[in-house]
Structure 1
Amino acid sequence: MTSELRKFIAPLLTSLIELLLQPKEKNVDAKICIYRTMRLLLRNVFENIQTDSSIDSVGWVLDGKRESGAAADAVVNSVESMSEDVARHLATSITDFPPLRKTIPILLASDLLHEDLKGSKRLSSTMSKCGIPRLLCELLVSVDFDWSEVATARTQNLQRRECLGQYHLLTSVLISFARFAKTEHGWNALSELSLVEIISQLPIFTKPPKQVFIEPATVKKPGTSAHIYATTLDLALHVCKQMCTNTKWKKQSEKILCVIRSLRELLQQLIRANIQCEILTSAQELIKEISINDEAVAAEVEADESLQQLMDFDTKSTRSAQPINVNSSFAAPRQLFSTLIPA
């Protein structure tokens, strides 16, 4: 059913892209309308990209190749056929749109990247060349808001509307980073831009809302500033995990440790309060992956009492335990072993 729907949607998506790229000048509202419609189509034909980690892990040993059905996918072909023009257009919109309206083109870029991952990844290459990762990093650094204001935001209050807009901008940028990090061109761009270092120094994360320390359990209570902060921080940690899926991931090991250390006080508070939450699970997965697979920093992790405390904490996570790194590297034989035989 999904396959038939994708065939039906593809011509509509192509027409919208062509409309978007017409030389006739369009105001922001018109572009937003087209972007929203494109997102609606893409979300209706969304398909998870399934990965067989065992095949990927031994790929370099067996020199095997897997056939992909992407070549016959009409939606993927539609995105690829106009990737250069689409990338330039989105880069212009992200640059020129008012701050609170940049979220829509950023999320559209993320949705298009998801389709691009099924094909030649041409769009991620052109987006990187057009400077979209750099634009997103600049936006990430500029984000500033109060978590408690986000929790109590009301649309009729201009100041709070600004706060909500900043929050949505942050989450949209992080979502796009997670998609970019899955591609070679995107990963290289984010690495060169020092994305992980930026995350480790962001005041928006290193200065949690006071509620987290006063009532740690509220990180699991929807609607609270602590919960909003926790879910957003977990998204940032997910970006770090995606940066560990490239064959050159060890270049990020020390930087990811800096991210975890920047959250030391928060993580220790949650551990002391015995709060099982996604933040601790994500941080624990990162530390374990690095300590097991990167000998260069393994001793450093073992010598850090707080990191060991985090690794030993029972998060009782309900999500399935899977190795972060499903790619292979000739420089990391232990990585292959740990991926095939999870501890």
Structure 2
Amino acid sequence: MKRTLVRNRRLYLESGSAIRCTTAPRRAASKVRRVRIRGSARGRAPCRQATRAGVGSTSAVESVLISSPWRDVVAPLAGDRSLRGLAAMKRLRTDQREALHARLSVREYRRGETVYRPGGHARSLYVVLAGVARLSIPAPNGRSVLIHLLPAGEIFGHTALVDGGAPHIFEAAAYTDLRLGRVASDDFFEVMAGARAPEVRALVSMLTERWISLVQRLARFLAQDLQARVAASLIEVVRGFGVEDTRGHMLSLRITQDTIADLSAGSVRKVNAVLRRFERDGLVRKEHGRIVLPDVGALEALALGG
């Protein structure tokens, strides 16, 4: 029995193919209806004449092979299992798991109880012993964006891997009644690397810092409106390629409007409208084909407020 998702008249199969149904009703992407297709080639699909790809009326069914980096990620919210099929703890050797368990400080959380909030100093990693943990990021409108649901065996709190610690990115909470084991990052590295813990930590810290920067960018974009994303993208570009002078910050690299649109995850038309608004407000201007940001602080306020 194959599970499918119906989204905008197209059925997405777990096998990676898609069936397009010409008579299925249109639905918004946010309202995904789950259906099942029976094993029979004539099992009913969500439209009157739809059948499996390659069977039945070609006018009603169009088979499309999905070539996408997401093709193998069947359940992206179910922890980190999409990469190797195992929870984090199961990837460790038996002796490592036993040593780690011996150092855990165990605590239970009721459903909905907060484990930690964004911005708090990360000194420990957390192991899900029972139940499900929830990682989310607060949005400016007061709601939160769900990032991960972590089942038993998963580990989270990875910003603690940075040497000296780093602020938590997400809010961690109990999605169900939850039992967590907490281990200090120093103990974690000692268990994993033994006498080589200091040099391993230095390497992991460097890689984790890069990962944190990427996660912060992607997580922030989930919670920002387009104006805030454009402002944040301009700030990031100017920090990497900007030269400060009396006019403000000038980009030494030529950045096209298409590139800004790509960085901001918006259409060129809508991003150009935001840039024109910034230009009218004196936040952006062009000189000899290069972008100048006279007031980076004002852009930062827009990025944080959106």
Same fold (TM over 0.5): no
**Higher relative contact order (CA closer than 8 Å, sequence separation 6+):** 1
Question: What TM-score does the superposition give when structure 2 sets the normalisation length?
Answer: 0.29
Larger Rg over CA atoms: 2
Structure number having the greater strand percentage: 2
